[in-house]
Structure 1
Amino acid sequence: MLGLGCAQIFGFDKSYDTEGGADGRGGAGGGDGGGATASSGAGGATASSGAGGTTASSGAGGGGAGGGGAEPACAVLEVMPGESLDLSIIDDMEDEDLAIPEGDSAIPRGGDWFMDHDESVDGIHEPVNEPDLMTPLDPPRGDSLVALRTSANDGFRVWGAGVAVYVYYDDYGDASEYRGITFWARAEEGSSRRLKVMFVEQQTRHTGGICDNANDRCNDHFHKHVVLAGDWKQFKIPVECLKQGGFGQQFDAPAMDRLWGFYFSFDPRQEFDIWIDDLAFYR
């Protein structure tokens, strides 16, 4: 799976309209997510603590995962200072490679990070060498010495660009014991800050055998946007706050018992330069 930035292979060689309102669906896709949405995975021990963001309300509660408007509690997803989460690390990046550890779950995990983007000829996505995604932090963020860094210009015009991680050896795994995912992130100066986080699972994935791929009804993944800042902040995305974009086949809720992985992406024409660290499930 490493380095497969081919939209044609995974079904992202399509142009999608933009979802109405602030929570658009124009970006993210690539590798496996599809047209306009993607997701993110988990595993492991506890996440390293690090410099925490400023104030924030916890992101619990909110509208049902199947559609409808999100409740106000889902609008602000920064983790509160002093808030304690029971974590199962997906990847803390400290080993500086693309593979994720097997984690502390009884369900076997194993996957890799990869870059993905559409085929726009003017698009530039960095780093050039995919293993260089894992970048030393200077200065460190608390105990964290390494984080993922990726950037792109505004030349991607179809579905955009980003990074993804698949989480399970056998395509899909049972992550239903978790309430959601959490991660640390920040944006460099001049970067777009509206990051789309997509949960890719069997129902919406175009190779899952459930959605109607023949009629372009797949890849409308459950997702949530977060707004990054110039300093490090910890975010959490509860499953109940996820929704689909509305352009594809609709489902009542994400199939967390058949999860593939996660996408972190930006919409078309969005220049970005971001860092991601300490991705984890939380209970």
Structure 2
Amino acid sequence: MRDVVTDFSNSEFIDWNDAFENGAYIPGAALLPDKWARLSAQLRDRQQAGGRMQADIRYGEGERQVLDIFHPEGESCGLVVLVHGGYWLRFDKSNWSFLAEGCLAHGWSVAIPSYRLAPDVPISDITQDVAAAVQLAAQNVSGPIRLVGHSAGAHLVARLLCADQILSEAVAARLAHVVPVSGIFDLRPLQANHMNESLQLDLKQAVAESPVAHQPRRAVPMTLWVGAEERPEFLRQTRLLCEKWSAEMDHIHACYEPGKNHFSVIDGLTRPDSALVRALLGID
């Protein structure tokens, strides 16, 4: 693990509760979860009707340790694993099925796991859940693997690119691209956020689970994606990881998508022609 300073710049001048607040700055944000659930139910109905959905595949003994795999029409090009956000505190796979649409249209299978949440388990256990879900999904779909995650999910897919992670060498060798969207890669500021009543991070845990504190797997390409209209802390976090890992990775860059906020930035995953889907799948 690399050395990380034990404080963060200008912390005494920053309201860390406000820094990670997204909904209050996005009109209509409170209505979005119901919209996502409705669109996701529609996609699951279509996939089930076509016999192209494997539901509730178990990768662990816990109630939430399950995943869905959506398959395209025809032969699959490979596997995309999509990891949802929610600050490690909320949501499950059923809220996010609609985001599989864009990759399915290009012939890729898409796995979406649920995982255990804080405060029931620490973030380190959530990281292990996602690793186990990727391992299990890889047994069900052959070919290259591409990882994409949003917000807390972006943190989790970035952690799987850290050299200390537990993906088997066989699965790690299949990683073709990792795309963290609007992620948190330095967890130390969360110690000063009200969410830490549930996350229960101390400094040791925050550093251990921060991708910026780890060496990356050098050969796996990464694209850090973030909305250009997001809160300053999310823009800072993206710049920070790109700067920390750029000297150690063969292919890493950041994309700041114009006009997008923390929630609208994921809309691109629903459209096969979007810049985000084309970047994730390596389509020129």
Same structural fold, with TM-score higher than 0.5 when normalized by the shorter chain: no
TM-score w.r.t. structure 2 length? Answer: 0.26
For the pair shown, the structure with the greater C-alpha radius of gyration is: 2
Task: Pick 1 or 2: higher relative contact order, CA cutoff 8 A, min separation 6.
Answer: 1
Instruction: Output the TM-score relative to the length of structure 1.
Output: 0.26
Pick the structure with more helix per residue: 2
Q: Which has the higher strand share?
A: 1
